[in-house]
Amino acid sequence: MPGVPQLPLPQGSRRRLRRFTLMIAAVAAVVVMMVAGFNAVVDPYGTVGTALFPTVTWTDRALKVYLVNNLSEPPDVVILGSSRAMKFEPEYIEEKTGAGGFNAAVSSGRPVDAWAFVN
């Protein structure tokens, strides 16, 4: 660059600087690949599909579908909603009304979840 003074480097310094930079880049790449490999093997959120370890995510939608498909008789009352509605006990509804119930509330439940359970 014009106007920027260049300091003279001792003999071989450029080569050592280039080797140092390449070594740091190689070590960083190896560390990133090791972390990515570890995450792929452990797969804590179930995104890769290795299934070597249980995931840390709670798949309550699949569980609710399994439970509702295995009911002996259809419920009279279905509780729909988000995780706030999970607190409602179907036994309490049955105790007060005599109608059997099923709590189909799911975490982060949205209207599309309610539509899926109803249909």
Between 81 and 49, the more confident residue is 81
**pTM of the predicted model as reported, rounded to 2 decimal places:** 0.53
59 in Cβ contact with 49 (< 8 Å):
no
pLDDT of residue 2: 67
Q: DSSP secondary-structure letter at 106? A: -
Dump pLDDT digits (tens) for 2-32: 677 777 777 778 888 899 999 999 999 999 9
Band the pLDDT of 103: cuts 50, 70, 90.
very high
Q: Is 14 helix (H, G, I), strand (E, B) or coil?
A: helix
Band the pLDDT of 1: cuts 50, 70, 90.
low
Tell the residue number behind the tokens 């179930």, with chain if given.
Answer: 46
Contacts of 116 (CB under 8 A, 6+ apart): none
Task: From 90, 69, 95, 65, select the one nearest 78 (Cα to Cα).
Answer: 90
CB atoms within 10 A of CB 80: 18
Per domain, the residue ranges of the chain are: 10-57, 60-118
25: exposed, middle or buried (Cβ count in 10 Å: 0-12, 13-18, 19+): exposed
